[in-house]
Structure formats: C-alpha cells, structure tokens
Structure 1
Amino acid sequence: METHIAIQGGKYLQQDQNGHPGWSEESLYLHGLHIASAGGNHFQHNGKQQFFDATGLLILPGLVDIHGDAFERQLQPRPATSFAYDIAFADTDRQLISNGITTACHGLTFSWEGGLRGREAALATLEQVAAQKSRVHADHLIHLRFENHHLDGLHDALNWIESGLIAFFAFNEHLPSILKKSASPEKLVAYAERARCDVAGFLERLHKAQSRSPKVAQAISQLAAACRQRGIAMASHDDETRMDRERFQELGVDVSEFPKTEEALQAAKALGNHVVMGAPNVLLGGSHCGGLSASDAVRRGLCDTLASDYYYPALLHAPFRLEQEDICSLAQAWQLVSLNPARVLGLHDRGNIAAGQRADILMIEKQADGSPRLIATIAAGKLVFCAEPQRLQYQQSLELAA
C-alpha cells in the first residue's frame, strides 16, 4: 500500500538554488517512495493521508554511509564464532535504521587472508544482500574493499563488477602493516582467528601474497579499467604519500579514503579529489590508530565525507559534535554524511529534501547538550523507526514497518 504522509512542524534542511544548505519551516508531503512536495499546500492524496507532528524537531535527509564494516560483528562477534548471514544482516538492518542510516555501503573486504574476509564469506554477503532487498528497510549496497595482493580473487572481483553487484570500489593495501604486526605473537594469533585458520596456515597465506608483489600493479590496472567502464566510483585506502595519490589518480581513482598523512591529504585536495574520513574519529577527538584528525580536516575544508567506518552510531552524532565544537554549522556538517556521499556514489535521488527525491528522512530532537536523539526514520517513504508514536495521527492506517 502506498503511503501519503504529511510532516508538519519542525524545520527541514534544504539546498537553495546555489546549492547552499539552509532551513525551512514549511510542511513536507510524501507519496509512496518519494517526496511529493516541499512547502506549499497543493499536495493531492486519496483521503488516506497521515500526519506526523514534527514540532520541535529537525528534519534531515537520511544518512548515506559510504563505508561501514560494523556488520562483521554480527557475523563474527567472537573470533571462534560464526553466525548465519540472514540473522546477521537482519540485525544489521535494524541497527542501521535506528541510527538514521537509510543507505548503507557495506565495506566488504575481499582479501588473501581468507576466513571472514575470504571468498566464501564474500559470496555469502553478496547473496544475502541481494536476497533480502524486499525485506529490509535501509538500502543495502556493496563497497568492495579489494586487497591489492589478492591475485587469486581478481577473476571474482572482475566478475562482480561486470555483474553490477558493486556500488563503490576501494583499493586496499594492508599487507605491509599485517606483515609488520605479525611479529607480535598475540597479533598473529588474532589474525589467524579472523582468517579461521591456524598460525602456520596464516603465515603461509601471508608469504604467498607477498611473493606476488610484482603482479599487483597489473591487477590494479585491470580492476580500475573495469570500474571505469561500469561508471563505478573508486577510492584508494590509507594513502601515505603524494605519489600514492597521484598513481591512483592516473587510473581514475579520485576518492582518497582515510588518508594517513598530511602529505597525502594535501595531495588529494590539490588534485581535486574527494576525501573520506571516519565519523568515529570525530567523536573520539582523533584517530584511534594515530592517524589524522577528521575534525581538523573538516575545519580546514579538507574533508568532504564522513563514514561510520566501524561504528554505526557515529554517523548520526558526528555532525552535531562538529557544530558543538564550532567547526562548522550543522547544515554544513550534514552534507558530509548525506548529500556528499550520495553524489560520490552517483545516487542523485537522495541526500537532499526536495520534490522528486527519494523519501529518506530523519526527525531528530536536538537535546539540551547539543547531541541528537533520533525520533523517527522514514526510508523510501515508509516509517521504519519511531520513538514517539504519539506524534502520529491516524496511526492505524499508517504503513509502519516491523
């Protein structure tokens, strides 16, 4: 059943004709999957219109998470455990909508390590995301994080790209750091547990991948060409030098994801690249692993998008923290978590509240301390989360997702 929802009261974030964010207190009208009109009073409906009283609330576009791998914790919450993919992703979907994420690009790591990040796990994730589309509330997409030394996975990755299964692609190079950290017996055991093998087996995989270094550049070129042909946005992960960024730029990889050094960050901006950093970094006051400060990068205009990375709640809270710390306005901060990532992904139907856009909308209470409390999430026109049902009128007719 198509829904007809009017959102009245509150104020919503919009873009003016010049693309500048601002606020409006006019009503919103939703019809089916889309926003029918923003402002005015000319909405036509079939008599089953429902009303949401948003008095005192901020109305914001749904969050677009360009990089999130917290779903791995639902699959493998402990090193020696493994849970069914349908259960894990159903729980992930509930976590997403209760944190305001209406579009989620799952960071699927495809690595020579195997185990949680191996071929069987990747296939299971791809199959589950495809199978659940009619049952989930958020829009689940795949961000393939390809480990550059995983030459055994090259054919699979090319096939998935060609099949249209990938929304975003990232080139990862974690082998040098894994090689270094494996000198610690404790860390080596942890790697082996994640890879679901013993220590000897993990070391064999590690050294096999390392031995293939001379062929990595050719594999990267093949993958980049395939993505360019399909129009898939690409990122390089953990850039450290200007040379790193320039090398990927030549291949059409124009997103720098989590640059590790000031040199790489400055190089990305000089090249006109899009920079993605972590929302948890904002909440923690800096990188947990000694990297750059996302808040500082935003302050200097060097960060374009924030991602949940490994913690879904961070994406909702980070824009409010940026406002609290006078780094930028909330309207500007919200572009980092909605409009900007949507544009990178080529999703021009979301990230903005305007007529014709997909009806992905959040209603948020800004609390006394400046932090957000999510009151309601509407995803593709359906009310999928509501903390204050008394704000609904004619609730018995509303299509409320379970």
Structure 2
Amino acid sequence: MILTNANIVLNNEVVLGSLKIEDGKIQAIDSGSMALASAVDCGGGYLMPGLVELHTDNMEKHFTPRPGVAWPGMQAFKVHDAQMISAGITTVFDAISVGDVVEGSERLANLSRMAEALKESRARDLTRADHLLHLRCEVSHQDTLDNFLHLLEAHPPQLVSIMDHSPGQRQFANLDKYREYYKGKYKLSDAELEAFIVRQSEASRLYSAKYRRAIADICQARGIPLASHDDATSEHVEESLNHGMLIAEFPTTHEAAREAHRHGMAVMMGAPNVVRGGSHSGNVAAHSLAAEGLLDVLSSDYYPASLLDAAFKLVADERNDYDLPAVMRLVSQNPAQAAGLDDRGEIAIGKRADLVWCDRLDDHAHIHHVLKDGKRVF
C-alpha cells in the first residue's frame, strides 16, 4: 500500500509526502506525491502514528451500561474495541480496577468478566486495536492483594498502577471535593457519607502501605512496568521512585509533576483535562503543566475521542511550546516507550504501520481512516 499527498507527522517534523507499507510495516517515506494509480490520495490530510493509550476505564461502561445490567462479555468488549479504534487508538492498555472503594460494587463483579473477554478476544483475533491489560490496584481495599495475586497468574498484566483514593490526600486532598464526588456518585446521605469517610480512612491506614510495597515488589521481580497514581507531594514521588515506578499518572500538583519529571518519570495527564480546560477534581490543569514543559503523556482516561482532540488543542494553545510532532509524541511514542513497546509509536521505517489519517475540522479532529499493521480497520 502507498499513501500519498499526506502531511506525514514524523518524530520532529511534518513532511508533505508519501508512505509505503509492506508486510504490516513502514518500508519507505518520501517527500512529494506519487502519481501511481494504486496510491491512496490523502488529500493533504494528516498522517499520524496510531495513538497509544496507557490508562482507560472505558471498557467498564460497556459491561455495565446501566446499574444492575451485566452485558455479555464478548459483545461488550467488541463495542469497546470499536470505540477505541474509531478514536485512532491502535494500542490500548485496558485499565481494570482491582479493589474498589465500595464493597460489592459492579466494578468488582466485572473484574474476571472483563479480563476473560480481553483474553478471549485476543486469542481469537477479534480485536481491531492491540489490547493489553492494565491492573489498577486500589491498595486501600481489603481484598486487593488477593485479587491481584489471582489475576497475576490467570491474566498476567502488561502494566500495573497503584492507587489510594481514600479521603484527605492525593486526588482528594480537598475533602469538600471528595464529599461532592462520592455523595453524587453513590447517592449517600450526609450521615452515610461521613461514615463512609471514616471507613475509607481506616482501610487506607490498615492496607495501603503494606499492599503498595507487596505489589510493587512482585512487579519489579517480574519486569512489569509500574505507574504511580495521583501523587500530590515530593514525598509521594520519592515513595513512587523507591517502588520502581516509571510513570506518574495524573499528578495532582505542580510540585509532584516537577519532581516526577525531574527524576525521569513519564508524567501523564488526562486528555479530558485538556479539552475541558481543567481537572474535574479541582487539581492541577494539564495545560499549565504543558506550559512548563512537564507533560510527557496524555491519556483519554474516560473519554476515548478526547485524545486526538487534546493534541490539536495543545498545538493551538500559545501558552506552551508544543508543535504538532511534539504533541503527537505525547500520545504515541512517549507512552509506547514508557510501557516498553519499541516497535510502534512513531512513523519511521521498520516500525509497525499503525496509522491515523485525519483532518482538523473546526475545533476537533475528524478521522477518515485508521490502519493497524498496515490494514484498514476503520
């Protein structure tokens, strides 16, 4: 396959030219257009590397589309896969929560169903994107370590993150924001909410540090990349570094982001944060980290289409120095490298032909087609 008349977004520049694909890999990149009848004319649109998503919980909503409704696993997974590929995401680390803040939640009930659907879909070659497993470990939950050890053998993960969403720290240092979020999410009365806060604080005291160390030690021994989550202070970052963590997911303050970036951790922020102009939890805005050059990776988090839209929004933002190649590294090469994937993430000879052909339409990206391993999948 030859794609021509495309603005090809390379690692450090944009070239108007042509790209040749053979055996699922990029074989040649040339400036200028080709007149071959068999060449696909991209009409001057952008040709970008397929997006690499390290942390999305998008799959969960398809397994439980309404409270109390458990959708069949394979069907739910295939709809999730279609949504990811239509957003230009060709490699996705599906984040499954191990442990939760509420006993008996649908999230815990779906744990094995989601892991099994991912495993079976891959085994049967039913996916359009490349799906990998990311275990999000809520270390303030009593059963997290046991659940993690079970999944480790049955469904070995390719990425693990360690979280503690208990009140008064990290994402919810502001207790008013904590009350607002969980009261709305679980429809708790004032008295129920205060009792909930006490229970969650005690669970964190009992389990968090112990489980954090145990899970980190296992991952380091097995060579599984580790990510911190919601670091808020330099002490949090120091703790993450001591646990061998390579990725700093969603630091909540400038202080934590600066420390993580200074020590070589890949600082990840949410693309919805960029699109919306700030954090829904009242924490640090992604665009302000971009302005300081502290932003390394973007994640679509809970909204797949936000990833490419956020990239274009950052390019247009005069408060930072990110050009289009630099922004595309945030959603392709940088996350791929952070997860140890060196065969993708950029348009370069010999790399996998995971590609997104799109245009800028008004204030968002309009995707024409997506290629995975040189084959059109959208």
Q: How would you bin the TM-score normalised by the shorter chain?
A: 0.7 to 0.9
Q: Does 1:221 align with 2:213?
A: yes
Aligned-partner Cα distance in 2 for 1:295–1:189: 27
Paired residues of 1:161 and 1:230 also in contact (CA < 8 A): no
1:164 positional shift: 6.2
**Secondary structure class of the residue paired with 2:343:** coil
Flag the 1:189–1:331 CA change in 2: closer, same or farther, 3 A. closer
Q: Does 1:88 align with 2:79?
A: no
Q: Does 1:357 align with 2:345?
A: no
**Secondary structure class of the residue paired with 1:286:** coil
What residue in structure 2 maps to residue 272 of structure 1? 264
For structure 1, the residue ranges without an aligned partner over 5 or more in a row are 16-20, 42-48, 194-198, 386-402
Deviation per CA, 1:296-325, whole angstroms, max 9, x where unpaired? 111211110000011111001111111112
What residue in structure 2 maps to residue 323 of structure 1? 315
**Secondary structure class of the residue paired with 2:13:** strand
Deviation per CA, 1:45-82, whole angstroms, max 9, x where unpaired? xxxx9532112111100011111112222222333333
Aligned-partner Cα distance in 2 for 1:94–1:214: 41
Paired residues of 1:162 and 1:226 also in contact (CA < 8 A): no
For structure 2, the residue ranges without an aligned partner over 5 or more in a row are none
1:103 pairs with one of 91, 94, 118:
91
1:211 positional shift: 4.4
Deviation per CA, 1:267-295, whole angstroms, max 9, x where unpaired? 21232221100001111111122111101
Aligned length: 361
Paired residues of 1:151 and 1:216 also in contact (CA < 8 A): no
Aligned-partner Cα distance in 2 for 1:9–1:307: 30
Matches within 5 A, 1:260-299: 260-299=252-291
Flag the 1:362–1:211 CA change in 2: closer, same or farther, 3 A. closer
Paired residues of 1:281 and 1:294 also in contact (CA < 8 A): yes
1:345 positional shift: 0.8
Q: Does 1:333 align with 2:327?
A: yes
Higher mean C-alpha displacement, 274-283 vs 369-378: 369-378
* Corresponding letter in the other structure for 1:79: P
Aligned-partner Cα distance in 1 for 2:148–2:187: 23
What residue in structure 2 maps to residue 115 of structure 1? 105
Deviation per CA, 1:187-242, whole angstroms, max 9, x where unpaired? 4584389xxxxx99xx7998388347334322211211111122222111111111
Paired residues of 2:142 and 2:203 also in contact (CA < 8 A): no
Matches within 5 A, 1:49-64: 51-64=39-52
Q: Does 1:127 align with 2:120?
A: no
**Secondary structure class of the residue paired with 2:58:** coil
1:6 pairs with one of 2, 5, 30:
2
2:302 pairs with one of 304, 310, 313:
310
Higher mean C-alpha displacement, 183-192 vs 326-335: 183-192
1:374 pairs with one of 363, 367, 372:
367
What residue in structure 2 maps to residue 343 of structure 1? 337
**Secondary structure class of the residue paired with 1:306:** strand
Flag the 1:55–1:143 CA change in 2: closer, same or farther, 3 A. same
Deviation per CA, 1:381-402, whole angstroms, max 9, x where unpaired? 21011xxxxxxxxxxxxxxxxx
Deviation per CA, 1:145-192, whole angstroms, max 9, x where unpaired? 100123423133134335662111111101226896899699458438
**Secondary structure class of the residue paired with 1:207:** helix
**Secondary structure class of the residue paired with 1:170:** strand
1:31 pairs with one of 22, 27, 30:
22
What residue in structure 1 maps to residue 139 of structure 2? 148
1:342 positional shift: 0.5
Paired residues of 2:167 and 2:178 also in contact (CA < 8 A): no
1:26 positional shift: 3.4
**Secondary structure class of the residue paired with 2:287:** helix
Paired residues of 1:236 and 1:257 also in contact (CA < 8 A): yes
Q: Does 1:191 align with 2:186?
A: yes
* Corresponding letter in the other structure for 1:300: E
Flag the 1:100–1:208 CA change in 2: closer, same or farther, 3 A. closer
Matches within 5 A, 1:39-50: 39=30
**Secondary structure class of the residue paired with 1:132:** helix
Aligned-partner Cα distance in 2 for 1:355–1:186: 47
Aligned-partner Cα distance in 2 for 1:169–1:307: 15
Flag the 1:140–1:205 CA change in 2: closer, same or farther, 3 A. farther
TM-score by length of 2: 0.86
Paired residues of 1:69 and 1:106 also in contact (CA < 8 A): yes
* Corresponding letter in the other structure for 2:376: L
Aligned-partner Cα distance in 1 for 2:200–2:282: 29
Flag the 1:76–1:350 CA change in 2: closer, same or farther, 3 A. same
Q: Does 1:161 align with 2:147?
A: no
Flag the 1:206–1:106 CA change in 2: closer, same or farther, 3 A. farther
What residue in structure 2 maps to residue 391 of structure 1? none
Aligned-partner Cα distance in 2 for 1:181–1:40: 56
Quick one: percent identity of the two aligned structures? 32
2:59 pairs with one of 71, 82, 88:
71
Higher mean C-alpha displacement, 109-118 vs 124-133: 109-118
What residue in structure 1 maps to residue 161 of structure 2? 170
* Corresponding letter in the other structure for 1:253: M
Aligned-partner Cα distance in 1 for 2:55–2:181: 28
Aligned-partner Cα distance in 1 for 2:147–2:157: 12
Deviation per CA, 1:59-112, whole angstroms, max 9, x where unpaired? 100011111112222222333333222121111111111111111111211114
Aligned-partner Cα distance in 2 for 1:321–1:150: 37
Paired residues of 1:280 and 1:318 also in contact (CA < 8 A): yes
**Secondary structure class of the residue paired with 1:277:** strand
